Amino acid sequence: MTEENNKSAASANGFVEGPAYQIPSSVKGATNEENVLEVDVDGFEGPLDILLNLARVQKVDLKQISILQLAEQYLNFIGKVQSLKIEIAADYLVMASWLAYLKSRLLLPKENDDEDLSAEEMAARLVFQLQRLEAMRDASAKLMTRNQLGRDFFPRGMPEGIRVKRESHYDASLYELLTSYSTQRLRNYYASWKPTELPILSIERARMRLERMLGKMDDWEEFDLIVMNELKDPVKRRTTAASSFSAMLEFARDGKLEIQQNKNFGKILMRRARPKSAPDNMLTGESGE
């Protein structure tokens, strides 16, 4: 049957030639003879995808094709290739159903219903759905090829905290820097100052301390042993010696204390003052030692 005869037969049946059906990529890639559905029906013999394409462009008279034979051959093909990918089987099912739909449109009388879609519109919708399905398959395959958590990479067991590094950048003139510096220096300039209190023993406290010792001075005692025996700090020893020596001189002036020194820079001896009638037990330079 020539191409012109096919076109005239299609025009007589009310069909207009439309764009060719896009064969899915999964079917195009099935080049193996075992993965290709060969159709042998009245009026055509060859692969199913070619039959669908020829029927879509009105180059094959679908009235001469037995849909029953086509369905039986399709079921036999699916039974033989059970190990075939489900995507290819699904695409072949779409092809066979599209051929059955085209023939049913030829055999059934036309209805004057504006809401029903034409064959061209339904074919376009079917092609669009197949293209969307193919796009979803490609996107799914691309996602599965990417690195996955738990398979290609793993999270850290105990992640460290984020270290924050701060850098200060100042934008100031020389006058502003000098003003800030002078303000900082003058901030503590007028602060109150309190002098450090030194550990000084006043003469009054030295008199009170020496007066408490007078009751135990029945005989001559060394000044250094009595006054400075308990002091370990050198600073306190100096101030205690000076204040106690002044207090000792005041007691001697008042007649409450007697002091004795046998030679220059020698030991200073002291005792509580006694009445003049009492005997003096001190020997020359040796009683107090």
- Supply the DSSP string of 196-259, one letter for each residue: PPP----HHHHHHHHHHHGGG-SS-EEHHHHHSTT---HHHHHHHHHHHHHHHHHHHHHTSEEE
Alpha carbon distances (Å) from 111 to 58, 102, 104, 205 = 21, 16, 13, 133
pTM recorded for the entire structure? 0.30
In a domain, 67, yes or no: yes
For the segment 81-101, the average pLDDT, to the nearest whole number, is 63
**Same structural domain, 95 and 219:** no
On whether residue 208 sits in a domain, the answer given is: yes
pLDDT at residue 212 is higher than 70: yes
Structure tokens at 259: 């002091």
**pLDDT of residue 24 exceeding 70:** no
Structure tokens at 227: 């006054």
Domain enclosing residue 245, as ranges: 203-272
Q: Are 84 and 29 contacting, i.e. CB atoms less than 8 angstroms apart?
A: no
What's the pLDDT score for residue 46? 55
Residues 130, 37 share a domain? yes
**58 and 134: one domain?**
yes
Q: Quick check: 210 pLDDT over 60?
A: yes
pLDDT value of residue 23: 44
Task: Say what the pLDDT of residue 56 is.
Answer: 53
To the nearest 5 percent, what fractions of the chain are helix, strand and coil? 50, 5, 45
CA distance 203 to 210: 10
For residue 155, being part of any structural domain is answered with no
Q: Are 97 and 75 in contact (CB under 8 A)?
A: no
Question: Is residue 265, in this structure, part of any structural domain at all?
Answer: yes
Same domain for 133 and 226? no
In-domain check, residue 164 = no
The answer to whether residue 45 is domain-embedded is yes
Weakest mean pLDDT among 49-58, 177-186, 218-227: 49-58
Q: Would residue 103 count as lying in a domain?
A: yes
Query: Do both 7 and 126 map to the same domain?
Result: yes
Number of domains, the chain: 2
Per the domain annotation, does 261 fall within a domain?
A: yes
pLDDT tier at 178, thresholds 50, 70, 90: very high
